[in-house]
Chains A and B, each alone.
Chain A
């Protein structure tokens, strides 16, 4: 495998973008990334998208993306892994360039979610769970994570306030992110007293429905050095693992084995350990998820994720800032775009381009963790400035 660098990033403002179609979203981020890299063409495209078929009646994004970016006949490949589609598309593109098959490859993550009503959006998202043995019985995604939250609270004594603190922290970061969907500060009491979705999680424990996209351009390190004058960011670690599709069939309901295994692979490839990581972007689809993820990544002991969050370990000025972008909670969660946007954020932070107030000090080694379903797939990347 040869070394791979990221030479371009692009992301549009996220939110309820009624005036924009899925092809607009894809093309906007693609053009921003090309402009950032200072190039006008790539050799292949990967598109991370969970469910354009249900959300917009449109499949075949592998053709639409290069067509509207003006790249035909460049090949496009759609990658689907539920909410981990973006992260897995990035890993696939990384392998593509590392193998020597192409020198310059673009990854676009996208989801256009507001063309359908809430019930249809919930249905589309629920397809990431087991249709016959989970969804059939009336479970929802907030419900799955709520069951993990109740188990974590019962097993470790994690408190409701500690769980709510994840949302408070991420909104505090997101309000300084110009591209974020919800740029408002919230309090622990507001989180706890908001409309209950699935006990104990309220609407403010849940990531929102969002339209958005993000793009990155990967390049062989050798070629990258001659192409760009910006600080190069190298992909040093990549890991990907699966778990049972059904939450009920796991050996534990308050830990994320697929994330722990993907992280072990990424740490090994990068020759790094958890204490080497300067900051991380993680999959806080629900507040409890961030607590379980930081435990799986080795930032906190099992059962201590809530406590360290309350103590400020993961705050913007803490030892390991987590979700300086605002995370899925505040920045938004257009599911297929999320994993790619995490990579965009890592590059922004390493280059020192994030907005003041959410810029991580000495951000040289960053980690991104993206997962699908109730943790049935997880993908972890480590990026380092060179």
Chain B
């Protein structure tokens, strides 16, 4: 991953930065330039919450190359409230303990590593509450 590409997403991955439409109140994560709900281009900065519920999930057994050492691992869609859903891994939880509706909290974790001398990539993962 080219370093500018990783660096650009740091405000979202490390600090949960989002924007909120000042016209209709829709929260966008990641931020957008146009509100897909009302078409407005006026936003106020905000943050997404760090607690939510699992809406659906799957356990990845056949993983893409950067994640092979982590398999099997769980990926879920999490409802963080205010109409914001995100996709992230759920960790510190065995696959068979996963349930739709489960309460989780986001934590700052290592996501992947680019070989032995590339960027170590961080971001949020869900853990059971």
Contact = CB atoms under 8 A, between A and B. Distances in A.
A154 B56 contact: yes
Nearest to B61: A196
Interface stretch (B16-24, B38-46, B70-78): B70-78
Secondary structure at the B interface, as helix, strand, loop or mixed, is strand
Contact of B87 (A122, A126, A134): A134
A248 interface: yes
A151 B9 contact: no
Contacts, number: 96
Contacts of B63: 138, 140
Given A138-B73, A138-B112, A248-B85, A150 B100 contact: yes
Given A132-B30, A199-B61, A137 B88 contact: yes
Interface string A307-331: 0000000000000000000000000
Contact of B56 (A126, A138, A197, A253): A253
B67 interface: yes
B58 interface: yes
A134 B112 CA distance: 13
Contact of A139 (B30, B55, B60, B61): B60
Secondary structure at the A interface, as helix, strand, loop or mixed, is helix
Interface residues of B, number: 32
A137 B89 contact: yes
Given A150-B56, A253-B55, A133 B65 contact: no
A123 B73 contact: no
B16 to A, nearest CB: 13
B120 interface: no
Contact of B62 (A126, A150, A197, A246): A197
A37 B96 CA distance: 56
A126 to B, nearest CB: 6
B111 interface: yes
A198 B62 contact: yes
Nearest to A197: B62
A50 to B, nearest CB: 17
A149 B59 CA distance: 12
B111 A150 contact: no
A154 to B, nearest CB: 5
Contacts of B86: 133, 248
Interface of B: 9, 30, 36, 55-67, 70, 73, 75-77, 85-89, 95, 100, 111-112, 121, 123
10 contacts: A126-B64, A137-B88, A142-B58, A142-B62, A149-B58, A151-B56, A199-B95, A244-B36, A246-B87, A248-B85
Given A136-B123, A143-B60, A198-B61, 13 more contacts: A123-B65, A132-B30, A136-B121, A138-B73, A138-B89, A142-B58, A147-B56, A148-B56, A151-B55, A197-B62, A199-B59, A199-B95, A201-B58
Interface of A: 119, 122-123, 126, 132-140, 142-143, 146-151, 154, 195-201, 244, 246-249, 253
